[in-house]
A = this chain, B = another copy of it.
Amino acid sequence: MSESKLIAILGGTGNLGSGLAGRWLQAGHRVIIGSRTLDKAEQAAAALTEVVKARGVSSVAVSARDNRAAAAEADIVVLTVPFAHHASTLEDVRDAVQGKILIDVTVPLVPPKVARVQLPEEGSAGQIAQQLLGENVRVVSAFQNVAAAHLQDGSELECDVLVCGDNKEARAEVIELVEAAGLRGFHAGSIANAAAVEAMTSLLIFINKQYKCHSGIKITGLEH
Protein backbone atom coordinates (compact mmCIF):
# COMPACT_ATOMS: atom_id res chain seq x y z
CA MET A 1 0.00 0.00 0.00
CA SER A 2 0.89 3.67 -0.17
CA GLU A 3 2.12 5.55 2.90
CA SER A 4 0.03 5.48 6.04
CA LYS A 5 -2.25 8.50 6.33
CA LEU A 6 -3.71 10.18 9.39
CA ILE A 7 -7.46 10.42 8.75
CA ALA A 8 -9.94 12.28 10.95
CA ILE A 9 -13.53 11.03 10.74
CA LEU A 10 -15.92 13.70 12.02
CA GLY A 11 -19.10 12.05 13.21
CA GLY A 12 -17.00 8.92 13.37
CA THR A 13 -19.21 7.37 16.05
CA GLY A 14 -21.97 6.66 13.48
CA ASN A 15 -22.37 3.50 11.41
CA LEU A 16 -20.89 4.90 8.22
CA GLY A 17 -17.97 6.62 9.96
CA SER A 18 -17.00 3.61 12.03
CA GLY A 19 -17.39 1.33 9.01
CA LEU A 20 -14.91 3.45 7.04
CA ALA A 21 -12.61 3.75 10.06
CA GLY A 22 -12.49 -0.03 10.50
CA ARG A 23 -11.56 -0.60 6.87
CA TRP A 24 -8.86 2.09 6.82
CA LEU A 25 -7.35 0.85 10.09
CA GLN A 26 -7.28 -2.64 8.62
CA ALA A 27 -5.42 -1.23 5.61
CA GLY A 28 -2.76 0.31 7.88
CA HIS A 29 -3.94 3.90 8.00
CA ARG A 30 -4.21 5.84 11.27
CA VAL A 31 -7.63 7.15 12.26
CA ILE A 32 -8.86 9.83 14.64
CA ILE A 33 -12.49 9.42 15.61
CA GLY A 34 -14.05 12.86 15.98
CA SER A 35 -17.31 13.60 17.73
CA ARG A 36 -19.03 16.57 19.30
CA THR A 37 -18.38 14.93 22.68
CA LEU A 38 -15.00 13.42 23.47
CA ASP A 39 -16.56 10.67 25.60
CA LYS A 40 -18.50 9.27 22.67
CA ALA A 41 -15.43 9.41 20.45
CA GLU A 42 -13.40 7.49 23.05
CA GLN A 43 -16.05 4.80 23.34
CA ALA A 44 -16.21 4.43 19.57
CA ALA A 45 -12.41 4.23 19.30
CA ALA A 46 -12.27 1.51 21.96
CA ALA A 47 -15.00 -0.50 20.22
CA LEU A 48 -13.22 -0.11 16.88
CA THR A 49 -9.96 -1.37 18.35
CA GLU A 50 -11.71 -4.61 19.31
CA VAL A 51 -13.41 -4.98 15.92
CA VAL A 52 -10.21 -4.46 13.96
CA LYS A 53 -8.15 -6.71 16.27
CA ALA A 54 -10.75 -9.42 15.73
CA ARG A 55 -9.92 -9.15 12.01
CA GLY A 56 -6.34 -10.14 12.81
CA VAL A 57 -4.71 -6.70 12.95
CA SER A 58 -2.29 -6.51 15.90
CA SER A 59 -1.57 -2.78 16.01
CA VAL A 60 -4.65 -0.55 15.67
CA ALA A 61 -3.74 3.13 15.35
CA VAL A 62 -6.98 4.78 16.44
CA SER A 63 -7.45 7.75 18.75
CA ALA A 64 -10.32 10.01 19.82
CA ARG A 65 -10.79 13.80 19.80
CA ASP A 66 -13.57 16.33 19.59
CA ASN A 67 -14.33 17.23 15.97
CA ARG A 68 -12.21 20.38 15.83
CA ALA A 69 -9.13 18.83 17.39
CA ALA A 70 -9.50 15.78 15.15
CA ALA A 71 -9.66 18.00 12.06
CA ALA A 72 -6.65 20.03 13.17
CA GLU A 73 -4.46 16.99 13.75
CA ALA A 74 -5.26 14.98 10.61
CA ASP A 75 -3.87 14.96 7.05
CA ILE A 76 -7.29 14.24 5.56
CA VAL A 77 -10.68 15.00 7.10
CA VAL A 78 -13.83 12.96 6.47
CA LEU A 79 -17.29 14.31 7.25
CA THR A 80 -19.95 11.71 8.08
CA VAL A 81 -22.61 13.61 10.03
CA PRO A 82 -26.36 13.83 9.40
CA PHE A 83 -27.29 16.65 7.03
CA ALA A 84 -28.89 18.54 9.94
CA HIS A 85 -25.37 18.96 11.45
CA HIS A 86 -23.54 19.44 8.15
CA ALA A 87 -23.19 23.23 8.06
CA SER A 88 -22.56 23.67 11.81
CA THR A 89 -19.82 21.00 11.83
CA LEU A 90 -18.17 22.59 8.78
CA GLU A 91 -18.21 26.00 10.45
CA ASP A 92 -16.70 24.46 13.58
CA VAL A 93 -13.73 22.98 11.68
CA ARG A 94 -13.31 25.58 8.93
CA ASP A 95 -10.01 26.95 10.20
CA ALA A 96 -8.69 23.49 11.07
CA VAL A 97 -9.15 22.08 7.54
CA GLN A 98 -7.58 24.92 5.51
CA GLY A 99 -5.12 23.51 2.99
CA LYS A 100 -6.44 19.96 3.43
CA ILE A 101 -8.69 17.56 1.59
CA LEU A 102 -12.16 17.25 3.10
CA ILE A 103 -14.11 14.16 2.04
CA ASP A 104 -17.82 14.90 2.30
CA VAL A 105 -19.94 11.78 2.74
CA THR A 106 -23.07 13.74 3.70
CA VAL A 107 -26.34 12.97 1.97
CA PRO A 108 -28.90 15.79 2.16
CA LEU A 109 -31.79 13.61 3.31
CA VAL A 110 -34.83 15.48 4.57
CA PRO A 111 -36.69 13.24 7.05
CA PRO A 112 -39.23 11.77 7.10
CA LYS A 113 -39.25 11.40 3.28
CA VAL A 114 -35.73 10.03 2.94
CA ALA A 115 -36.66 7.92 -0.10
CA ARG A 116 -37.55 11.09 -2.02
CA VAL A 117 -34.87 13.22 -3.70
CA GLN A 118 -34.89 16.65 -2.03
CA LEU A 119 -31.66 18.34 -3.03
CA PRO A 120 -30.75 21.65 -1.38
CA GLU A 121 -31.01 24.94 -3.24
CA GLU A 122 -27.22 25.09 -3.53
CA GLY A 123 -27.29 21.88 -5.60
CA SER A 124 -25.72 19.40 -3.18
CA ALA A 125 -24.15 19.00 0.24
CA GLY A 126 -20.77 18.85 -1.49
CA GLN A 127 -21.28 22.27 -3.05
CA ILE A 128 -22.42 23.70 0.29
CA ALA A 129 -19.21 22.37 1.88
CA GLN A 130 -17.02 23.84 -0.86
CA GLN A 131 -18.72 27.24 -0.52
CA LEU A 132 -18.49 27.22 3.29
CA LEU A 133 -14.84 26.16 3.46
CA GLY A 134 -13.51 28.30 0.61
CA GLU A 135 -11.24 27.40 -2.28
CA ASN A 136 -8.23 26.65 -0.09
CA VAL A 137 -9.95 23.41 0.96
CA ARG A 138 -10.23 20.67 -1.65
CA VAL A 139 -13.70 19.24 -1.05
CA VAL A 140 -14.22 15.79 -2.54
CA SER A 141 -17.53 13.96 -2.18
CA ALA A 142 -17.55 10.15 -1.96
CA PHE A 143 -19.09 7.06 -0.34
CA GLN A 144 -22.68 8.38 -0.29
CA ASN A 145 -24.15 5.26 -1.92
CA VAL A 146 -22.44 2.64 0.21
CA ALA A 147 -24.68 0.76 2.66
CA ALA A 148 -23.25 1.36 6.16
CA ALA A 149 -24.26 -2.16 7.22
CA HIS A 150 -22.00 -3.63 4.54
CA LEU A 151 -19.11 -1.29 5.35
CA GLN A 152 -19.21 -2.32 8.97
CA ASP A 153 -19.24 -6.08 8.53
CA GLY A 154 -15.96 -5.91 6.64
CA SER A 155 -17.21 -8.19 3.85
CA GLU A 156 -16.70 -7.69 0.15
CA LEU A 157 -18.72 -4.75 -1.10
CA GLU A 158 -20.65 -4.77 -4.34
CA CYS A 159 -20.84 -0.99 -4.64
CA ASP A 160 -18.71 1.48 -6.57
CA VAL A 161 -17.74 4.87 -5.22
CA LEU A 162 -18.25 7.92 -7.44
CA VAL A 163 -15.70 10.55 -6.51
CA CYS A 164 -16.57 14.20 -7.27
CA GLY A 165 -14.48 17.28 -6.69
CA ASP A 166 -13.05 20.24 -8.56
CA ASN A 167 -9.42 19.17 -8.01
CA LYS A 168 -8.30 16.12 -9.95
CA GLU A 169 -5.27 15.33 -7.77
CA ALA A 170 -7.46 15.45 -4.67
CA ARG A 171 -9.91 13.08 -6.34
CA ALA A 172 -7.03 10.72 -7.12
CA GLU A 173 -5.93 10.74 -3.46
CA VAL A 174 -9.47 9.93 -2.38
CA ILE A 175 -9.69 7.12 -4.93
CA GLU A 176 -6.62 5.59 -3.23
CA LEU A 177 -8.51 5.68 0.07
CA VAL A 178 -11.56 4.16 -1.62
CA GLU A 179 -9.40 1.30 -2.80
CA ALA A 180 -7.84 0.96 0.67
CA ALA A 181 -11.41 0.45 1.94
CA GLY A 182 -11.86 -2.40 -0.54
CA LEU A 183 -13.98 -0.60 -3.11
CA ARG A 184 -13.62 0.65 -6.68
CA GLY A 185 -13.49 4.44 -7.02
CA PHE A 186 -14.11 6.52 -10.13
CA HIS A 187 -13.35 10.07 -11.15
CA ALA A 188 -16.89 11.41 -11.54
CA GLY A 189 -16.37 15.08 -12.27
CA SER A 190 -16.64 18.39 -10.47
CA ILE A 191 -18.21 18.93 -7.05
CA ALA A 192 -21.43 19.94 -8.87
CA ASN A 193 -21.76 16.27 -9.80
CA ALA A 194 -22.10 15.34 -6.13
CA ALA A 195 -25.80 16.14 -6.70
CA ALA A 196 -26.17 12.99 -8.78
CA VAL A 197 -24.57 10.75 -6.17
CA GLU A 198 -26.35 12.29 -3.20
CA ALA A 199 -29.71 12.08 -4.99
CA MET A 200 -29.02 8.46 -5.91
CA THR A 201 -28.93 7.59 -2.21
CA SER A 202 -32.63 8.45 -1.81
CA LEU A 203 -33.36 6.35 -4.85
CA LEU A 204 -31.42 3.40 -3.38
CA ILE A 205 -33.32 3.81 -0.09
CA PHE A 206 -36.53 3.52 -2.11
CA ILE A 207 -35.23 0.38 -3.81
CA ASN A 208 -34.20 -1.07 -0.42
CA LYS A 209 -37.77 -0.66 0.83
CA GLN A 210 -39.39 -1.85 -2.37
CA TYR A 211 -37.19 -4.91 -2.90
CA LYS A 212 -36.18 -5.58 0.73
CA CYS A 213 -32.42 -5.41 0.17
CA HIS A 214 -29.29 -3.30 0.78
CA SER A 215 -28.79 -2.01 -2.74
CA GLY A 216 -25.80 -0.31 -4.27
CA ILE A 217 -24.63 0.64 -7.76
CA LYS A 218 -21.86 -0.58 -10.00
CA ILE A 219 -20.46 1.17 -13.05
CA THR A 220 -20.65 -1.04 -16.15
CA GLY A 221 -19.45 -0.82 -19.73
CA LEU A 222 -15.87 0.10 -18.82
CA GLU A 223 -14.33 -2.29 -21.29
CA HIS A 224 -15.70 -0.56 -24.40
- In the complex, the answer to whether B193 meets A199 with C-beta atoms within 8 Å is yes
Cβ contacts under 8 Å, A158 to chain B: 220-221
A148 within 8 A of B: no
- In the complex, the answer to whether A220 meets B218 with C-beta atoms within 8 Å is yes
A116 within 8 A of B: yes
CA distance A164 to B210 in the complex (A): 13
- Given known pairs A193-B202, A196-B199, A199-B196, the reply for A220 and B117 (CB within 8 Å) is no
- In the complex, the answer to whether B215 meets A188 with C-beta atoms within 8 Å is no
Cβ contacts under 8 Å, A154 to chain B: none
- In the complex, the answer to whether B202 meets A196 with C-beta atoms within 8 Å is yes
With beta carbons under 8 angstroms apart, the residue of B116, B118, B188, B213 that contacts A224 is B213
A28 within 8 A of B: no
Cβ contacts under 8 Å, A118 to chain B: 192
With beta carbons under 8 angstroms apart, the residue of B193, B203, B220 that contacts A162 is B203
Beta-carbon contacts under 8 Å, A176-224 to B: 186-190, 192-193, 195-197, 199-200, 202-204, 206-207, 210-211, 213-224
A159 within 8 A of B: yes
CA distance A162 to B206 in the complex (A): 11
- Min Cβ gap A197→B in Å is 7
- In the complex, the answer to whether A116 meets B190 with C-beta atoms within 8 Å is yes
Cβ contacts under 8 Å, A115 to chain B: 189
With beta carbons under 8 angstroms apart, the residue of B195, B202, B220, B223 that contacts A189 is B202
- In the complex, the answer to whether A197 meets B188 with C-beta atoms within 8 Å is no
- In the complex, the answer to whether A187 meets B215 with C-beta atoms within 8 Å is no
Instruction: For A147, give the chain B residue with the smallest CB separation.
Output: B221
- In the complex, the answer to whether A207 meets B188 with C-beta atoms within 8 Å is yes
Tell me the A residues contacting B by CB distance below 8 Å.
115-119, 123, 147, 150, 158-159, 162, 164, 186-190, 192-193, 195-197, 199-200, 202-204, 206-207, 210-211, 213-224
